Structure 1
Amino acid sequence: MGATKTLDDLNTVLADFSKQIERIRNSPEDVEEAFRKGAIALAAAEGGTFGGGPIGAAIGATYGAITQDDFTGTMQDNKEEIKDKIVELLSKLQDAIDGLKAPIALLQVSGDWLNVQTEINKARNWVLVKTDLRGKWSGAAADEYFAAQQLQVTATDTASSNCDVMSDCLAAASDAAWDFYSKIVKDLIDFFVDLGAALAKIATGVGAPFGASDAIDALGSMIKIAGEYAKTLGDTLLAQKKIINKINSSTDNPRSFHNNKWPEIGTGSLSIDSPNSEKWAAR
């Protein structure tokens, strides 16, 4: 998978994905325009052939413009089939569209955990430096104090380690999503090359039957590929579920967090008379 993707990486691939989805949504208009031009071109060609040169072609083009929706029979059926397949393709991509915001959120939260880790490490260092009384205090009360202090240090170490787990796990989930969307973007770009070529044929009029066939084939192939995304998305979600389980495991009663609570230092623990009314001695 390589290095963890940055926010810029994710923004780029998700923007590309959104752009491709918008192209699909606009495709029915492109189809209508291609068939409109095809009808005009075909009528002009027929007018030129049967109506006497340029004048006949002009008359034919005018007639084609008036009757631009009059591709009848198979061609009209093909146009509707192409538009229906565009709707089907969007439907196949709906899960990917719904999950569009997740990768950004995952990486943002991943970075937040590293910020939390920094603050925890500052707190740990403060405890180590500011509360270290070794060499200045001895006796039973001192021993109890040092034990309580060590719990605090261990808790900060555990919390810092958990931040690493959180950040790494969320970044891994984000990377998996980046791979998923990158694959879709590449496939859609390739698809639009084929669809664009097919619509260009339709617009010529005489090439319309071949263009319609090519468009239907291109959409059929893309729909099949989009259907396979469901499995890929399922695998991605399964990986993310494992990641969530790892996060839950690392945060459920971690070391020094008895009953999932930060270790407390009660006033009794810090009393100079604790634990056996034995005064502590400074030296």
Structure 2
Amino acid sequence: MKRLDTTRPDWAPPDVDIETPSIARVYDYWIGGTHNFAVDRELGDRVRTGNPGLVASLRANRAFLRRAVRELSALGIRQFLDIGSGIPAEGNVHDVALSAHSDSTVVYVDIDPVAVAHGRALLADEPRAAVFQGDLHQPRKILEADETRRLIDFDRPVALILAAVLHFVPDSEHPLELVRHFTAPLVPGSALVLSHAGAETVPRRAPEAAEQYRGAVSEVIWRDTAELTALFADFDLLSPGVVRAPVWRPELGEQADPDLAMLAGVGLKPGT
């Protein structure tokens, strides 16, 4: 059996196990990131063997997020709160936002301690961005966290990002109420960015290899266009509304199969 490379790079915190697969790093591998190890890539390859549309869907979601951040930056938004962010590696929200406005600030929140540990190492020299461990189901703790208060001024517009995270929240946990806990303090002109597993794009049944991945994450709740649109209550959807991620304001030269993609949309909070 081929021995996996376990050399620890400079960006990997010393307290993080690099010999055991991490869901956060597997996801980073799938979306084309470089902050993963051979053990993560091995698991990632096994999972996607029987799920050929998985990686394309995840990458289309990240491409949508980058476009959304660029659009919102063009509208003057300079503060971004990304909940369920994963590892904030190259090409993520802070890269896009800071390239548009050097005074932008970004706060990443994730429940996975591995993602947070890697994120802190990667952002150690970036004072305009921060990452901390937080639970989506505890909005007040996230909104009042030291990192949030340091970088986010809720008297100015904020873009709240909930990308590929609400499909882990079942109806019994009232996802709309959860969203409203986060959006209530946002002033008019703020934005809500959502992407979500779409009921119209349910994948083929996963093989046994995928059980290792599914066992580490919550069950996915598939919702349709109308259900995702309902989560934008109190926000005005930007054109083209809730659509499959590659269809949301694609840029010249972008190519992705919309049949393999999540649903996505961006809304602005109205008011004077």
TM range (shorter): under 0.3
TM-score computed with the length of structure 2 as normaliser: 0.23
Instruction: Please identify which structure carries the higher helix content.
Output: 1
Instruction: Please identify which structure carries the higher strand content.
Output: 2
- Pair member with larger Rg: 1
TM-score computed with the length of structure 1 as normaliser: 0.23
